[in-house]
Amino acid sequence: MSRIITISREFGSGGRELGKRLANALGIPCYDHEIIEMIAKENGFNEDYVANVAEKSIEAAYPLTIGHRFGMQPFQIMDQPIRVAVTQRRILENFAKQGDCVIIGRAADVILKDYDPLNIFVYADKDSRIERCQRRAPAGEHLTAREIENRMKQIDRNRAQHHQMYSDNKWGDKGSYDLCVNTTKRFVKDLVPAIAKFCEDWFNSHG
């Protein structure tokens, strides 16, 4: 049985860092921005465009509930956001078929549900998320706490909408995940050993 771990996360919670450190601790690949690069290359799209579409609802481009019906009607593939979604699903499934891996975001927890992944949700309180965003801001970026908070809300709203395209389960609902990790006032690197042990025990019990 392959060890497939998905990381869903609130913006600013350190979920990306956790996913990469966890993959390193377990000695397995981690897929994050590589997914965007592959989608862009395969379809001839700009990476920024793919990143923008890949974490949003595509209802504005195709105003019907699509859910699990991606790819069933060929004419739909002509819409660029649909092509992004179809390609993303195929890439994630190919990663899962190749074996052990950690996948960050992309609604992988529901897209790969048939592969019995271990689904992790990473969150933190508002102040901790704002502080982490400020600490990791690119050089020259000087957003106020209010501006960062507004960005966090928008990005999390987009992620929830994107997740809803694939599942009726609410994004961030603890009942939808196998492990929820609160990074409030914690360094992610300090949490990883215990999470890695949890993952190993989880897969051993599900083997």
Task: Give the DSSP letter string of 143-201.
Answer: --HHHHHHHHHHHHHHHHHHHHTT-SSPTT-GGG-SEEEE-TT--HHHHHHHHHHHHHH
Please say whether the beta carbons of 198 and 90 come within 8 A.
no
Helix, strand, or coil here: 21? Answer: helix
Mean per-residue pLDDT over the chain, rounded: 87
**Mean pLDDT to the nearest integer, 108-120:** 95
Rounded to whole angstroms, how far apart are CA atoms 93 and 167? 17
Any idea where the domains of the chain sit in the sequence?
4-197
The segment with the largest mean pLDDT, out of 61-65, 144-148, 169-173, is: 144-148
pLDDT of residue 207: 67
Q: What is the value of pTM for the model shown?
A: 0.86
Residue with tokens 């195929």: 90
Smallest Cα–Cα separation from 183: which of 9, 30, 25? 9
Cβ-Cβ contacts under 8 Å for 172 (sequence gap 6 or more): 8, 10, 121, 123, 156, 160
196-206 pLDDT tens trace? 999 999 999 98
102: pLDDT strictly greater than 90:
yes
Q: Say which CATH architecture domain 4-197 belongs to.
A: 3-Layer(aba) Sandwich (3.40)
